[in-house]
């Protein structure tokens, strides 16, 4: 039995075994206050370890933690630099692409906008805690410049807008901050282009063969994000920038012929248009994992990747087939040359390539 099949067997068993509702023999169940203190790191060492040990084995407390985590605004966590050394080479490239794209997008405001861009540059050289989008932006270095530009430019502007709002109440600020972090986080995961607006116009120029759709999140978070964006645009007086940003936010994957397009709807469904986006018909694909990026090397071939190692490909333009993938890892970008050969990359910067439609994958950096 191939190694990969054994891994799949283990995965399947893990789903069953871990879902067993077993209550541990020792330890007391966690109450809300303890969980809150634990999540903020306020518990003393022994207390924290006891909670961790208990939650690891108690189905009820694990469910409690899961529910609680779903209510937690995203906060970027720094990863050790040495763990992502392989991405270091791409940081200057991404920064250069950022600066160049801002200059191209808004030549009139270029001088003013270089400051935030430079700030971003500094931030990306810092730890990931400063800018969660830095590493994935670096991953997308081979992609065309405009998308990372928008992704990187937004953050500093939002930060400034928030500073201006300092008289607002604390909870409001927290919401905005978390929303913008989630926004940045999603963009980071999407790797190539920024999160598309729902009504964003299709790009006039041929789009890169990849597009992203935000991972579905709680409705409240979505609203908070939308509010945050509105406030940023209004407070900072940067409506033109917002418009420019939208113009550079492709939510469609344009095939080489220019008239065939795909788009990811709600992060889980895919639609296809054969008349340059005038009409859309659903493709036969439904994923419970969030789809994040796609690549369309021809009018009938489209690759789509997403969370938990999902890879789909269609070679007739409508019917997508799930392609086996060796790891359960969130995939954030894909590039393809035809229905057989594609390269995908994960959120943690690893690359895989196939030349036989996923029958075999070779890992590389």
Partner 1 sequence: MSSWRPSASAVTHLYQQSRAERWSLPVAVFAAALERSARKVFVTPPEPRDLERLLGSLHLEDLALACACAGGHEGAWEHFVREHRPVLYRAADAIDPTGGSRELADSLYGELFGLVERSGERRSLFSYFHGRSSLSTWLRAVLAQRHVDRVRSTRRFEPLPEAEPTPSARSEERPQPQSRISAYVQLMRRAVTAAISRLPAKDRLRLGCYYAEDLTLAQIGRALGEHEATVSRNLAKARREIRTDVERQLREEERMNPSQIDECFEAVVEDVGSLDVSDLLGAASDHPDSSGSPGSRRKDSRDKRSKERPEGASA
Residues between 50 and 79 with contacts to partner 1, criterion CB under 8 A = 52-53, 55-57, 59-60, 62-72, 74-75, 77-79
Distance (Å, whole) CA 238 – CA 226: 15
User: Torsion angle, CA of 285/287/290/296, rounded to 10 degrees?
Assistant: -20
E runs forming strands in the chain? 253-254, 261-265, 269-273, 281-286, 291-295, 302-306, 311-314, 320-322, 331-336, 342-346, 351-354, 362-364
**Does the footprint of partner 1 cover residue 338 (CB under 8 A)?**
no
1 binds partner 1 (CB under 8 A): yes
The residues pairing with 261 across neighbouring beta strands, listed in sequence order, are: 254, 273
Query: How many residues are present in the chain?
Result: 365
Interface residues for partner 1 in 164-223 (CB under 8 A)?
Answer: 169-171, 174-175, 185, 189, 215, 218-221
Report, in Å, the least distance between residue 69 CB and partner 1.
5
Q: Of 18 and 96, which has the nearer Cβ to partner 1?
A: 18
State which of residues 346, 352, 354, 361 lies at the interface with partner 1 (CB under 8 A): 346
Are 309 and 328 within 8 A, CB to CB? yes
Can you tell me the distance from the alpha carbon of 21 to that of 257, in angstroms, rounded to the nearest whole number?
53
Nearer to partner 1, 159 or 327 (CB): 327
Region of 151-159, 192-200, 237-245, 312-320 interacting with partner 1 (CB under 8 A):
312-320
Select 321 or 341, whichever has its Cβ closest to partner 1.
Answer: 321
Nearer to partner 1, 113 or 137 (CB): 137
Residue 99: count other Cβ atoms within 10 Å of its Cβ.
21
**Per-residue string for binding with partner 1, 118-157, x by CB under 8 A?**
----------x-----------------------------
């Amino acid at each position: 039995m191939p190694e990969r099949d054994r891994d799949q067997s283990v995965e399947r068993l893990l789903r069953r075994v871990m879902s067993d509702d077993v209550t541990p023999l020792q330890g007391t169940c966690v109450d809300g206050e303890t969980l809150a203190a634990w999540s903020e790191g306020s518990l003393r060492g022994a207390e924290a370890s006891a909670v961790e040990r208990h939650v690891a084995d108690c189905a009820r407390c694990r469910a409690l933690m899961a529910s609680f985590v779903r209510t937690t605004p995203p906060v970027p966590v720094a990863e050790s630099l040495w763990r992502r050394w392989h991405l270091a080479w791409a940081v200057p490239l991404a920064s250069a692409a950022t600066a160049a794209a801002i200059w191209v997008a808004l030549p009139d405001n270029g001088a003013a906008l270089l400051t935030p861009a430079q700030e971003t540059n500094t931030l990306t050289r810092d730890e990931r805690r400063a800018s969660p989008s830095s590493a994935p932006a670096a991953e997308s270095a081979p992609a065309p410049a405009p998308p990372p530009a928008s992704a990187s430019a937004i953050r500093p502007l939002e930060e400034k807008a928030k500073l201006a709002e300092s008289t607002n109440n604390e909870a409001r600020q927290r919401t905005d901050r978390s929303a913008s972090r989630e926004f940045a986080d999603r963009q980071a995961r999407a790797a190539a282009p920024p999160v598309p607006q729902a009504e964003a116009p299709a790009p006039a120029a041929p789009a890169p063969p990849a597009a992203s759709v935000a991972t579905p999140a709680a409705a409240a978070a979505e609203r908070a994000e939308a509010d945050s964006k509105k406030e940023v645009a209004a407070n900072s007086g940067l409506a033109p920038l917002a418009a420019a940003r939208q113009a550079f936010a492709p939510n469609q994957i344009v095939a080489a012929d220019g008239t065939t397009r795909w788009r990811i709807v709600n992060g889980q469904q895919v639609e296809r248009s054969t008349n340059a986006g005038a009409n859309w018909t659903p493709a036969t694909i439904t994923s419970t994992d969030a789809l994040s990026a796609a690549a369309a090397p021809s009018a009938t071939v489209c690759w789509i990747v997403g969370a938990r190692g999902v890879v789909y490909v269609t070679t007739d333009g409508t019917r997508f087939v799930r392609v086996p993938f060796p790891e359960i890892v969130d995939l954030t970008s894909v590039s393809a040359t035809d229905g057989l050969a594609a390269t995908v990359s994960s959120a943690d910067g690893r690359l895989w390539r196939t030349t036989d439609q996923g029958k075999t994958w070779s890992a590389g950096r």
